[in-house]
Chain A
Amino acid sequence: MEIFVQQMFNGLTIGSVYALVALGLTLVYGILHIPNFAHGALYMMGGYITLTMMTNFGLHYWLAILVSILAVGLIGVLMERLVFHPLRHAPPIHDKIAAIGILLFLEAFAQYVWGADYQTMPSPYDQVVHLFGLTFTMQRLLIIVFAIAVMILLYVFLKKTFIGATIIAMSQDREGANLVGINTNRTAMLTFLISGGLASIACSLAAPINLVFPGMGQLVILKAFVIIILGGMGSIPGAILGGYILGFSESLGATYISNDYKDIIAFVLLVIILSVKPTGLFAKGGH
């Protein structure tokens, strides 16, 4: 029983990270109508920038994260302006190819600047806490609390503010959004900014319990794809729920099935859910 609870806690931790990454991916899906393959590179950049800010510039962990959020958000905006915006009238396959191009470019860039070595990110929260018979590090608790706080903030922003609602409106009908007076260019940039920021938060939170290296975004983004397909492309509750479903199944699977099969669980889950409900759990009507 204790192991079960401990693993549920771990699932909650990984699930929080997955949900943050998947949220950014699903928001941008509403703008591009393709999954942004370069999103994993934004995640990786987030980790490196936070790490550099801490080790080279001596910034505190939180301050480093803040810089990283802004920087990666900006990379996201540049991506939209320089690559996806000029391609907006091109067939969707061009966006896909361009996204893969950006991914390769950013990974090569990271390797050039920071090297190919695996690096560790020190966290000021590596204390071990014993609570209710459970053992965990502060960092893991922090991931959960911070990620959930970010998700609540995002929800309030999207649901309760006019500017946030433009993102939802544009994902549902771009021309309709334009016709009520929304500047769709600005909304697209805002979406990429938020999406980059979310990727950066996710990686900066998760990096102290993992490692930082140029290819670190690949497996995460692959799983984020699974999550948004699972939750329904473009669905926000779907991305959150999907993130946690995957987090729980991975940590429980690693314990009760085998740790070696941890990474395959996501894809088995995908096959099962798509066989039962081909449109995903929270599919929107229409497309």
Chain B
Amino acid sequence: MLKLQNVSVKYGSFTAIENLKIEVEEGQIVVLLGANGAGKSTAFKAISGLKKPSSGEIFFQGTPISRRTADKIVQLGIVQCPEGRHLFPAMSVYENLKMGAFVHRRKKDEIKKSMSHVFELFPILKEKQHDPAGSLSGGQQQMLAIGRALMSKPKLMMLDEPSVGLAPLIVEQMFEVIKTINKEGTTILLAEQNANAALKIADKGYVFENGSVVLQGTSNELFSNDEVRKAYIGA
């Protein structure tokens, strides 16, 4: 479904990712593991069209997309929940969700349906739908970010560190929801430092170091790999 073919991204003279090869099959949950600055977010930016690769190509369902702008990529069905969430803080929860459906703005019924689906997944958002997004707690903001992304009815959803800064109980809940979204037919690409939680729900993973993939395999393989355990699971 998604294929990164030898993708490199540079910021000036600094190479943030080099020669990246990643493949995501339809229906999978794929996780990118790695420390801060390893290049996971840059890879997401490249896929989302926020940062153009300096070389290589990104294919989505067989079509090259590296030259498309970010708004066109959302129309294709790729959506990103970015690190830092990037919500509209002064808009209400309801308005944030509505903006999430921007690419479907002419289909009012669909927006309503997506909205009630999001409220089913995150009942707290329904309760707080009139509150400004900026007033929510960290966990609720993360839920809203996922909800807003879902409103675009994505085929592929990318989540950049959804567990960062959240209490363990909320993290568990978040990963449950991600699993549910995947079961409902959305392919998931996840960037995480929390390898333990991520590998439990993932089909396969890639380990990033300094902008390159140093290790890849099924979640079971990575879970039992000594280096992964040492570096990311701490056991």
Contact = CB atoms under 8 A, between A and B. Distances in A.
Interface of A: 162, 165-166, 168-169, 172-173, 175-184, 284-286
Interface in B41-86: 48, 50, 69-71, 74-75, 79-80, 82, 85-86
B135 to A, nearest CB: 9
Contact of B102 (A166, A168, A284, A285): A166
Given A162-B102, A165-B99, A166-B102, A179 B90 contact: no
Contact of B88 (A172, A178, A183): A172
Given A162-B105, A168-B91, A179 B74 contact: yes
Contact of A183 (B71, B79, B100, B148): B71
From B48, B75, B100, B102, name the one whose CB has the most chain A CB atoms within 10 angstroms.
Answer: B102
A173 B85 CA distance: 10
Contact of B99 (A180, A183, A286): A180
B8 interface: no
Contacts of A284: 89-90
B102 A180 contact: yes
24 contacts: A162-B105, A166-B102, A168-B90, A169-B88, A169-B91, A169-B99, A172-B88, A173-B89, A176-B82, A176-B86, A177-B88, A178-B70, A178-B71, A179-B70, A179-B80, A180-B151, A181-B70, A181-B152, A182-B102, A184-B71, A284-B89, A284-B90, A286-B89, A286-B134
Nearest to A178: B70
Chain B interface extent, by class: 20 to 34
B95 interface: yes
Contacts, number: 73
Contacts of B1: none
Interface in B78-115: 79-80, 82, 85-91, 95, 98-100, 102-103, 105
A181 B88 contact: no
Given A162-B105, A165-B99, A166-B102, A180 B152 contact: yes
A172 B99 CA distance: 12
A276 B188 CA distance: 50
Contacts of A179: 48, 50, 70, 74, 79-80, 82, 86
Contacts of B91: 168-169, 172
A181 B75 contact: yes
A284 B100 CA distance: 22
Given A162-B99, A173-B89, A176-B88, 12 more contacts: A165-B95, A168-B88, A169-B88, A173-B87, A173-B88, A180-B99, A180-B102, A180-B103, A181-B71, A181-B103, A183-B71, A184-B71
B71 A285 contact: no
Interface in B174-196: none
Contacts of B75: 181
A122 B100 CA distance: 49
Contacts of B74: 179-181
Given A172-B89, A176-B88, A286-B89, A181 B82 contact: no
A180 B100 contact: yes
A201 B108 CA distance: 34
Contacts of A286: 89, 134
Nearest to A183: B71
A169 B180 CA distance: 29
Contacts of A175: 50, 82, 86
Contacts of A162: 98-99, 102, 105
Contacts of B87: 173, 176
Contacts of B79: 179-180
A182 B98 CA distance: 12
A175 B143 CA distance: 18
A178 B75 CA distance: 11
Given A175-B82, A285-B134, A181 B90 contact: no
A240 B134 CA distance: 24
A97 B148 CA distance: 38
Contacts of A183: 69, 71
A216 B57 CA distance: 54
Sort A-B residue pairs by CB-CB distance and give the 9 closest, nearest first.
Answer: A181-B74, A176-B86, A181-B103, A162-B105, A172-B88, A178-B70, A183-B71, A181-B71, A181-B102
Nearest to A235: B90
Contacts of B50: 175, 178-179
B90 A172 contact: yes
